[in-house]
Amino acid sequence: MQTLGSKMLSCSTPLFYLCCLLLVSFLLLLEEAHAARHGGISLRSQHTALLQWKATLASPPLQMSSWQENTSPCNWTGIMCAAVRHGRRMPWVVTNISLPDAGIHGQLGELNFSALPFLTYIDLQNNSLHGALPASIISLSALLILNLPYNQLTGEIPYEIGGLRSLMQIDLSFNRLTGLIPACLSNLTMLTGLAIHQNMVSGPIPEEIGRLVNLQGLQLSNSALSGMIPKTLGNLTQLNILYLFGNQLSGPIPHELSRLVHLQRLQLQSNDFSGPIPISITNLTKMNQLFLFENQITGSIPVELGNLTVLNELFLYTNQITGSIPSELGILLNLQELDLS
Ligand SMILES: *[C@@H]1O[C@H](CO)[C@@H](O)[C@H](O)[C@H]1NC(C)=O
Ligand SMILES: *[C@@H]1O[C@H](CO)[C@@H](O)[C@H](O)[C@H]1NC(C)=O
Ligand SMILES: *[C@@H]1O[C@H](CO)[C@@H](O)[C@H](O)[C@H]1NC(C)=O
Ligand SMILES: *[C@@H]1O[C@H](CO)[C@@H](O)[C@H](O)[C@H]1NC(C)=O
Ligand SMILES: *[C@@H]1O[C@H](CO)[C@@H](O)[C@H](O)[C@H]1NC(C)=O
Ligand SMILES: *[C@@H]1O[C@H](CO)[C@@H](O)[C@H](O)[C@H]1NC(C)=O
Ligand SMILES: *[C@@H]1O[C@H](CO)[C@@H](O)[C@H](O)[C@H]1NC(C)=O
Ligand SMILES: CC(=O)N[C@H]1CO[C@H](CO)[C@@H](O)[C@@H]1O
């Protein structure tokens, strides 16, 4: 049953897309019908969804005291609205929820996302959100930013997230998410930032991630990822930051990483990487931090590292590196920290 179920719902099957398409069309129809009854897009249903969510929270925080029945949600703390064109009208709709550090104790699954189709921005970082990231998140088709670090989210990252084609930033760091990194994240080709640092996700880094060619930051650190770095990461040529540290990743550091010409910080420490430091990465002349410590790296330190003139921090300790420190490293005038012990 399990296998059949996951097969049928796998994001790579045409059936899933058909279902999504039907679901989205259905929701749009509903929205239209609803809007028609009210002579336009209804702020009322957005108002209701937010108040219903508030009612499910364990002692709603002070910041939410302005969330009251007979006021406009556009006046509430943490809520922003915008006027959107709808036929000849320009109704106000809820576009932002921004309540970081607010002590919200509740579940996102209780928030009726299908009533909030105009949300572009969610920042609920550093609250006490627990439970899963709900599959209903697929309703948020206008979402650009999803910021949920520092919560207690559990369960798997729903593959439905791959349907949010407008998403530019996802931060799910510092939660307790488990399961695999869904390959369908690779459908979010507008993403500039993807951070799932400090969770309990496991399995391989999907090679499909190489399709996210607009990524500037990729943080998949401090989890339980295993397998090799996919060569396709070499396609992410806009990356400034690549953090994969604190996992059980193994195999060689792929020389394809030398294509990441904008890379400033490469942190691969505390994994099981083996093989030599690829000489090709000494082409990454913007590299500022190179952390390779606590791995099984062998061979000698390439003299070409001396070409990385803006390198500030180079940590290579606890590996099986042999030979001496090349004198060329001495010409790295900016090198503040060189720890090869
Ligand atoms: C929003 O609040 C202001 C005063 O703070 C008030 O004048 C205005 O009527 C409110 N708007 C709505 C739609 O509730
Ligand atoms: C989280 O919010 C609390 C206040 O609610 C604050 O003291 C703490 O510094 C915040 N933590 C982070 C990581 O932002
Ligand atoms: C969620 O919102 C939609 C759209 O307003 C509505 O049709 C639906 O009944 C709501 N669901 C619940 C459980 O309130
Ligand atoms: C609302 O969201 C947009 C992105 O969709 C963002 O540019 C804007 O800064 C947000 N406003 C606030 C007050 O956070
Ligand atoms: C990405 O990289 C792989 C291997 O490095 C390559 O075969 C592929 O064509 C590249 N392009 C995309 C869009 O994945
Ligand atoms: C470094 O880049 C240059 C061109 O910028 C190329 O000719 C050379 O082969 C590269 N070296 C390595 C080791 O990748
Ligand atoms: C890099 O360093 C090597 C050895 O130190 C040197 O021969 C080479 O010319 C330098 N420059 C480039 C672009 O590789
Ligand atoms: C339309 C589209 O790009 N679909 C892709 C979404 O992601 C899955 C898994 O990576 C692909 O198999 C689909 O082709």
Predicted confidence (pLDDT) per residue in 19-72, tens digit: 444 554 544 444 444 444 443 468 999 999 999 999 999 989 999 999 999 999
Q: Say yes or no: CB of residue 50 within 6 Å of ligand 3.
A: no
Contact criterion met (CB below 8 Å) for 113 and 94: no
Residue 92 is assigned to a structural domain of this protein: no
Smallest CA separation from ligand 4 atom 7, residue: 121
Predicted confidence (pLDDT) per residue in 167-217, tens digit: 999 999 999 999 999 999 999 999 999 999 999 999 999 999 999 999 999
Query: 3-class SS at 179?
Result: coil
Ligand 4: lining residues by beta carbon, under 6 Å = 80, 96, 98, 120-121, 144-145
| Domain CATH number, residue 150 | 3.80.10.10
The tokens of 291 are what? 């952390």
Contact criterion met (CB below 8 Å) for 183 and 12: yes
Smallest CA separation from ligand 3 atom 5, residue: 115
30 Cα–ligand 1 center, Å = 29
pLDDT of residue 90: 86
- Give the number of the atom of ligand 5 that is nearest the alpha carbon of residue 256: 5
Contact criterion met (CB below 8 Å) for 233 and 257: yes
Contact criterion met (CB below 8 Å) for 148 and 175: yes
Residue 140 is assigned to a structural domain of this protein: yes
pLDDT of residue 212: 98
Q: How far lies 218's CA from each of 18, 45, 169, 170, 248, in Å?
A: 30, 36, 10, 10, 17
Cα separation, 47 vs 24, in Å, equals 22
Residue 168 is assigned to a structural domain of this protein: yes
Q: Give residue 312's domain range.
A: 97-339
Phi, then psi, of 150 in degrees rounded to 5: 60, 55
Residue 11 is assigned to a structural domain of this protein: no
Residue 16 is assigned to a structural domain of this protein: no
Tell me the H-state helices in the chain.
Answer: 2-9, 14-37, 43-56
Residue closest to 45 by CA, chosen among 112, 90, 107? 112
pLDDT of residue 95: 97
286 Cα–ligand 6 center, Å = 14
Residue closest to 149 by CA, chosen among 198, 110, 76, 217? 198
Number of structural domains, the chain?
A: 1
Cα separation, 204 vs 54, in Å, equals 38
**Mean pLDDT, residues 277-298:** 94
Residue 113 is assigned to a structural domain of this protein: yes
List the single range of 44-53, 100-109, 128-137, 298-307 with lowest mean pLDDT.
298-307
Tell me the sheet residues that pair with 272. Answer: 250
Q: Chain-wide mean pLDDT for the chain?
A: 88
Contact criterion met (CB below 8 Å) for 201 and 226: no
- Give the number of the atom of ligand 2 that is nearest the alpha carbon of residue 174: 13
What's this model's pTM, rounded to 2 decimal places?
0.86
Nearest ligand, measured from the Cα of 96: 4
